[in-house]
A and B are shown apart, each in its own frame.
Chain A
């Protein structure tokens, strides 16, 4: 049974509940939805959004959007970047696709699965934040390292990756089984961070090998990694999505962001309107609002950082990951196999 996403038909809490049951109950579903919530509007319109961003992160924006456009209802589904990509490739009926996996988003666009959209707001985006009229970035989010204050007690904070390597080498007892990072085999974002970092610097492989020797813990998602750092199970989480970390640190003083000054890998969270979108006009209004959010000058109230973050000093070493055909390189089956094999050699010892 294929999952046909109901749009505009299911409203209210009961609907959400039923839907959730349906999703969980479906054994041969085409893609996996992790979370879902509908925000009905006053008009008959309901746009279906599939996103990699957690509801908690996105809800403030949705509510703000609906206060301006109460007539537009929003059906928000959360999925992993790989599932999100698959949903669109398989033709699921979504009106907006939001993902942090730039490479997968680019592949959708390259394969002709996006619908062109041009507006005043898309015109205002910097060149690097947009690919043709198809794919638009609305955040610039660096990958960061998060440490546990308690476990770093008395230790000097390393300022570069070289210093981090030196510290890990010097104090293996303190970090044994206490370092976490993405499992690139399951996390699209983790794979993106890893491949881009590997391309940029050879320290990545040295760090990976070191983490492998220390019995690295592998995670699917940033949130759990941060949870484990907060609890003290981990001393260090490497390549955590900076925006999530920042939000957590804001009300959790057990955590601390380790500022590595040598370089930062900056990911662009991007949005596209799929070719099969039905509520195109409403989707365009939503995308415009989202891009306007991306163009705001200061971080403000919303947790997702604006595009301006890409201009911050720590991000300037390489700039944000470029939107372009080079993103296809690590998606290549042979390349992916080769990279994962090498990664596994380093990490899983």
Chain B
């Protein structure tokens, strides 16, 4: 049971653990202080009662006198009145010589008289079934011609001091509980504030972008330095590992793509030297196969990048028009090869987003449009504000989408059903749509103007 609780604590929060620990200590201290106060109170009350009993017995002893050879006593009123001071306790007394009781309760006998006259002896005794506290004092008084030792015993029940002790104990218990509650509150506060730097570091690391592996530089309490050092070392190792895998991918790509490039280049050269049409066809197929595999590999990598960045989107201020300009410029040589005219018309469109993702989305859409457009046609890239949204449309004069729906088109690896002879894959649109979804935007397909061609629009909410 206790082990379960402990292991639960080990798994649970440090703050909780610290608080429970401090609360346990506070509880022990509270209990200890309560016990001490109670015992002090009992002792103090007991001592007070002893003093009062002693004073009472002494004042009675002092009232003893010898008159005409006879022992006389007039009990001082105050001797008993003072006994009422502590509480409502029952009082017993006895004044006696060694042989006879002079007055008081005959059967109240203390086991031992004090060592010398004038010395007060206190004792706890049982009388008539009651526990009494007694004080006894002796005094020599002349009886006839001989001095007689007269003992005066005053005894009292203890309910008064028990009540005082109980009252003090109750007060101490209340104070202890209050102290305990205060200590728990302070403990929780202390736990919270000492864990604050840890939370701050966690927040600082949590706020970082997906690729930010810089070491965490922060003033941290000494105890957190090992953690921080370990964290930074981990980040460094992670960074190294990412760099290594990036290098590995680059190296692998280089190793694969360079021979492919060689094959393609040689196939093209061969194409010029062979005359036979069937051989030319074979070489063309080789070239296309190389192109297709290269494009697929590129898009797969793109898709992985987009998925990763979309999962941990880090945004910055950007202008959608600038991105559109860059993409159009990047693809214009490709378009020129087919004498396709790229026409860009854009208004400034400031927003927050990941420029790499948005550029990738538009590049894929425009790349598709260039691929599917006939030679010597035009593609319009327009960026307008449409209500609360930016609408970045790519409209071509190509064959349109046929009967495919957007969902089908963007389905991964799926090609448009009427473009099987053009290298490319539905992955391009998938990439674009994922990038847009990450920004809260969407992709819209519509037929081109006058039923000719098609429009793909990137819709992003304007700030």
- Given a CB threshold of 8 Å, the question of whether A touches B is answered with yes
For the complex, would chain B's binding face be called helix, strand, loop or mixed by DSSP majority? mixed
Flag A316-349 by CB within 8 Å of B: 1 or 0 each. 0000001011111100111100100000000000
**B111-125 interface (Cβ within 8 A of A):** none
Task: Choose from A322, A324, A338 the contact partner of B74 (Cβ within 8 Å).
Answer: A338
Flag B69-85 by CB within 8 Å of A: 1 or 0 each. 00011111101110110
**A76-116 interface (Cβ within 8 A of B):** 109-112
B7 to chain A, nearest CB (A): 52
The interface residues of chain A lying within 8 Å CB-to-CB of B80 are: 324-329
Task: Choose from B75, B84, B88, B89 the contact partner of A332 (Cβ within 8 Å).
Answer: B75
Task: Choose from B77, B88, B104, B128 the contact partner of A199 (Cβ within 8 Å).
Answer: B77
Interface residues on B, range: 20 to 34
Instruction: Please tell me if the beta carbons of B90 and A109 are within 8 angstroms of each other in the complex.
Output: yes
- Interface check B168, CB cutoff 8 A: no
Instruction: Please tell me if the beta carbons of B91 and A334 are within 8 angstroms of each other in the complex.
Output: no
Known: A325-B83, A328-B80. A131 touches B88 (CB 8 A): yes
- Interface check B24, CB cutoff 8 A: no
Instruction: Please tell me if the beta carbons of A335 and B84 are within 8 angstroms of each other in the complex.
Output: no
Q: How far is the CA of A332 from the CA of B89 in the complex (A)?
A: 18
- Interface check A2, CB cutoff 8 A: no
- Interface check B213, CB cutoff 8 A: no
- Interface check B265, CB cutoff 8 A: no
Most chain-A CB neighbours within 10 Å: which of B73, B102, B130? Answer: B73
Instruction: Please tell me if the beta carbons of B104 and A325 are within 8 angstroms of each other in the complex.
Output: no
Q: How far is the CA of A326 from the CA of B75 in the complex (A)?
A: 10
- Interface check B66, CB cutoff 8 A: no
B94 to chain A, nearest CB (A): 11
Interface residues on A, range: 10 to 19
For the complex, would chain A's binding face be called helix, strand, loop or mixed by DSSP majority? helix
- Interface check B241, CB cutoff 8 A: no
Q: How far is the CA of A341 from the CA of B159 in the complex (A)?
A: 37
B106 to chain A, nearest CB (A): 11
Known: A110-B90, A332-B104, A333-B103. A325 touches B84 (CB 8 A): yes
The interface residues of chain B lying within 8 Å CB-to-CB of A332 are: 73, 75, 103-104
Instruction: Please tell me if the beta carbons of B130 and A326 are within 8 angstroms of each other in the complex.
Output: no
- Interface check A118, CB cutoff 8 A: no
Q: Which residue of A lies closest to B95 (CB)?
A: A334
Instruction: Please tell me if the beta carbons of A322 and B128 are within 8 angstroms of each other in the complex.
Output: no
- Interface check A132, CB cutoff 8 A: yes
The interface residues of chain B lying within 8 Å CB-to-CB of A199 are: 77
Instruction: Please tell me if the beta carbons of A328 and B91 are within 8 angstroms of each other in the complex.
Output: yes
A27 to chain B, nearest CB (A): 29
**B122-149 interface (Cβ within 8 A of A):** 128-130
Flag B18-49 by CB within 8 Å of A: 1 or 0 each. 00000000000000000000000000000000
Task: Choose from B84, B88, B90, B104 the contact partner of A112 (Cβ within 8 Å).
Answer: B90
Most chain-A CB neighbours within 10 Å: which of B75, B80, B89, B93? Answer: B75
Q: How far is the CA of A325 from the CA of B105 in the complex (A)?
A: 14
Q: How far is the CA of A215 from the CA of B89 in the complex (A)?
A: 43
Task: Choose from A112, A131, A333 the contact partner of B130 (Cβ within 8 Å).
Answer: A112
The interface residues of chain B lying within 8 Å CB-to-CB of A132 are: 88, 159
B133 to chain A, nearest CB (A): 14
Q: How far is the CA of A334 from the CA of B65 in the complex (A)?
A: 12
Q: How far is the CA of A329 from the CA of B130 in the complex (A)?
A: 22
Q: How far is the CA of A109 from the CA of B90 in the complex (A)?
A: 8
Instruction: Please tell me if the beta carbons of A112 and B75 are within 8 angstroms of each other in the complex.
Output: no
Known: A112-B128, A334-B73. A329 touches B103 (CB 8 A): no
Q: How far is the CA of A335 from the CA of B74 in the complex (A)?
A: 5
Instruction: Please tell me if the beta carbons of B75 and A334 are within 8 angstroms of each other in the complex.
Output: yes
Known: A109-B90, A325-B80. A335 touches B130 (CB 8 A): no
Q: How far is the CA of A327 from the CA of B80 in the complex (A)?
A: 8
- Residues of B in contact with A (beta carbons under 8 Å apart): 72-77, 79-81, 83-84, 88-93, 95, 102-104, 128-130, 159
Closest 9 CB pairs of A and B: A324-B84, A325-B91, A326-B81, A325-B80, A334-B103, A132-B88, A326-B80, A325-B83, A334-B73
User: 30 pairs across A/B with beta carbons < 8 Å?
Assistant: A109-B90, A110-B90, A110-B92, A111-B90, A112-B90, A112-B128, A112-B130, A131-B88, A132-B159, A324-B83, A324-B88, A325-B81, A325-B83, A325-B90, A325-B91, A326-B77, A326-B80, A326-B81, A326-B84, A327-B80, A328-B80, A329-B79, A329-B81, A332-B73, A332-B104, A333-B103, A334-B95, A334-B102, A335-B74, A335-B75
